[in-house]
Structure formats: C-alpha cells, structure tokens
Amino acid sequence: VGVYLRHDYKHVTMDTIADQKMPEWCKRNRVTLIQLGLQLYKRASEDSRIQVSGSIDDWIYLVSDPHRIARRCHAGNFLFFNTEGRLRSCMFGTEYADIKQTPLDGIVALDGFAEARKLHASCSICVLACN
Ligand code: SF4
C-alpha cells in the first residue's frame, strides 16, 4: 500500500511556483492531517506492507507550508502526459508537446523538456518532493 497526499495546483511554472496555494480544505483540516501523518509513519515503521518515503517533517510541511519542503522534486524520473497524449512538465505543470507527433527520442531535445527539467530543479511544493 502506498499512501500519498495530493494538492491540486494549477499551471505550475517557474513563474508561478511562489503563487501556488494549498486548498482551503487542507488548511481547515491541518491538525487532522498532521495527526494522520504521524499515525501513518508510525504504522509504516512497524509494518513493511505500508510504503512511505521522505520524512514526517516534509509531510507536515506539505499540509502546512509546502514551500518549506526540503527534498528535491523527482518528477524528472517520469514523463507526464494526459489522455490526449499532451506532454506536461509535471502533473500540475503546463503542456509542451504532443506525444503522438514527437518520437520518444526527440522529446529530450525539445525546449519544453529542458524547461521542465529546470522546473523540477527549482520546485518542491508537492508530493513528488516529499513522499
Ligand atoms: S514539486 Fe515537482 S511535480 Fe510537484 S509541482 Fe513542483 S515541479 Fe511539479
């Protein structure tokens, strides 16, 4: 079992990282989410069937102040594309190509791919940086 918290950021780019906000629901339920994180990490330490990564500190930042997450984003390990085949910089990022019209080995040569790599190196506000 893998457990992940997810915000619903929109159009994350180098220019909008600082403007991304947590959902109001998350703010209202911060204490509960922190308590659940503490329970989850404790259970995971006792039961190898439960998979968590990162630290409880970053879980707490994710539900209270995501801009303080210390770990690096690992979105660079993946290619993200939607059901129409549009490549995106990450699941919250912007589109930069159509996978149906771009050969796989051509993707890495795209300016959009290089921009996505810069974004991954600069942004650490979501679960891909902390869990
Ligand atoms: S941490 Fe990575 S995956 Fe998450 S919003 Fe930022 S760039 Fe996207």
Under 8 Å between Cβ of 62 and 131: yes
Helix ranges restricted to H, the chain: 24-28, 30-46, 56-64, 104-107, 111-122, 127-130
Q: Which two tokens stand for residue 45?
A: 């330490």
Closest-lying ligand 1 atom to the alpha carbon of residue 69: 1
Residue whose CA is at the smallest distance from ligand 1 atom 6: 123
Closest-lying ligand 1 atom to the alpha carbon of residue 93: 8
3-class secondary structure for 87-106? EECCCCCCEEEECCCCCHHH
Q: What is the pLDDT of residues 34-74, one digit of tens each?
A: 999 999 999 999 999 988 877 889 889 999 999 998 888 99
- The mean per-residue pLDDT over the stretch 98-110 comes to 92
Under 8 Å between Cβ of 25 and 83: no
- Spatial separation of the C-alpha atoms in residues 111 and 104, rounded to whole Å: 14
Domain range summary for the chain, segments of one domain joined by +: 17-130
> What pLDDT is attached to residue 121?
94
Residue whose CA is at the smallest distance from ligand 1 atom 8: 90
- Spatial separation of the C-alpha atoms in residues 84 and 41, rounded to whole Å: 37
Under 8 Å between Cβ of 94 and 38: no
Residue whose CA is at the smallest distance from ligand 1 atom 4: 126
Closest-lying ligand 1 atom to the alpha carbon of residue 12: 5
> What pLDDT is attached to residue 131?
56
CA 29-33-39 angle, to 5 degrees, is: 150
Q: Give, rounded to a whole angstrom, the gap between the first and last alpha carbons of the chain.
A: 13
